[in-house]
């Protein structure tokens, strides 16, 4: 049975990608899947130190995360990427390479992300202290046909995670939890 796939969270900084990634991770581990979360910020320190935030450097970073997801997916690990990944073409390129790919658009109004400002980055970006900040001074291109859309301002993350897991079951990437429990 092939079980590897890539679950790719995209959205603005502060949309809730990392929170959702770890909620889904916990549930998949509880169901005995092998799971690896590739968080954009963490991966930058391991794979992309020295890269900046130009279009080219962002694309390089996303392709590297995508390559690690591809390697994990073909070895039957569930790879969960949580990265702003603002450019549609680059996400679609990664999708095409991996094949078994589920895109989750974590949609949040910019003003909500600014109000949350978990990392204090929006304040700096709005003050002009961070150039090329997605949503403020750099573009974000939403997916046209993501497998899942989460509106993180409108429901608690646990409800979003449950909807993502249901989508993965519906798409055939996961065994329904109930069926497993009945075995």
Beta bridge partners of 81: 8, 38
Binding to its own copies in span 136-165, by CB under 8 A? none
Q: Contact region for its own copies (CB under 8 A) — 15-23, 72-80, 127-135, 161-169? A: 72-80
Q: Quote the DSSP letter at residue 37.
A: E
Beta-carbon contacts of 2 under 8 Å, excluding residues fewer than 6 positions away, are 76, 100
Contact between 63 and its own copies (CB under 8 A)? yes
Pick the binder of its own copies from 29, 31, 46, 55 (CB under 8 A): 46
85 is catalytic: yes
Contact 7, 104 (CB under 8 A): yes
Least separation in angstroms between residue 71's CB and its own copies is 6
CB 167 within 8 A of CB 29: no
Task: Catalogue the active-site residues.
Answer: 85
Binding residues vs its own copies (CB under 8 A):
34, 36, 46-47, 49, 60, 63-64, 67-68, 71-72, 74-77
């Amino acid at each position: 049975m092939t079980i590897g796939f890539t679950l790719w969270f995209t959205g603005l900084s502060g949309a809730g990608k990392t929170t959702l990634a770890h909620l889904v991770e916990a549930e998949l581990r509880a169901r005995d899947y092998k799971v690896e979360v590739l968080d954009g910020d963490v991966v930058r320190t391991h794979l992309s130190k020295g890269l900046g935030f130009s279009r080219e450097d962002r694309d390089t970073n996303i392709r590297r995360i995508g390559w690690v997801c591809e390697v994990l997916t073909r070895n039957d690990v569930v790879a969960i990427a949580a990265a702003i990944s603002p450019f549609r073409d680059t996400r679609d390129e990664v999708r095409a390479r991996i094949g078994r790919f589920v895109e989750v658009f974590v949609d949040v109004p910019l003003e909500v992300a600014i109000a949350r400002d978990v990392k204090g980055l929006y304040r700096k970006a709005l003050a002009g202290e961070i150039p090329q900040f997605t949503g403020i001074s750099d573009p974000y291109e939403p997916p046209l046909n993501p497998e899942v859309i989460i509106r993180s301002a409108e429901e608690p993350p646990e409800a979003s995670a449950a909807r993502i897991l249901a989508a993965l079951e519906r798409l055939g990437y996961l065994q329904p939890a109930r069926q497993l429990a009945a075995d």
